[in-house]
Amino acid sequence: ILNVEQSPQSLHVQEGDSTNFTCSFPSSNFYALHWYRWETAKSPEALFVMTLNGDEKKKGRISATLNTKEGYSYLYIKGSQPEDSATYLCAFRVDSGYALNFGKGTSLLVTP
């Protein structure tokens, strides 16, 4: 079992605040790192898949960075909005075509 840790477990911010979460994963045998956004009663939504050390991805106000040598990825949300409220999951992969190893997620609540 590959240990993927996410922190914090939950986060409550005010509308307009910027925030970030951490995903830690084993640095050996790295293949890919995925981020998902999961709203209650919906399907997890794919945000990013990252493969290269130093990779940075951006989608609107959300961005992510990757450090495969030290085994962590950061997800940033700039100017949080109430619609950003969701659970953010990261998942680590060691082989092509096999399992995603998920963390427990960070639950974000953004209040007006």
Partner 1 sequence: ETGVTQSPTHLIKTRGQQVTLRCSSQSGHNTVSWYQQALGQGPQFIFQYYREEENGRGNFPPRFSGLQFPNYSSELNVNALELDDSALYLCASSGDLAGVHEQYFGPGTRLTVT
| Interacting residues with partner 1 (CB under 8 A) | 1, 4, 31-32, 34, 36, 41-46, 49, 51, 89, 91, 96-105
- In the complex, least distance from residue 15 CB atom to partner 1, rounded to whole angstroms: 26
Residue 18 or residue 51: which is nearer to partner 1 going by CB? 51
Instruction: Identify residue 98 by its one-letter amino acid code.
Output: Y
- In the complex, least distance from residue 36 CB atom to partner 1, rounded to whole angstroms: 8
Q: Do residues 104 and 8 make contact, with C-beta atoms less than 8 angstroms apart?
A: no
Instruction: Determine the Cα–Cα distance for residues 50 and 55; give it in Å rounded to an integer.
Output: 7
Instruction: Determine the Cα–Cα distance for residues 31 and 5; give it in Å rounded to an integer.
Output: 17
* DSSP-derived pairing of the beta strands 86-93 and 32-38: antiparallel
Residue 5 or residue 15: which is nearer to partner 1 going by CB? 5
Residue 78 or residue 87: which is nearer to partner 1 going by CB? 87
- In the complex, least distance from residue 45 CB atom to partner 1, rounded to whole angstroms: 8
Instruction: Determine the Cα–Cα distance for residues 57 and 36; give it in Å rounded to an integer.
Output: 13
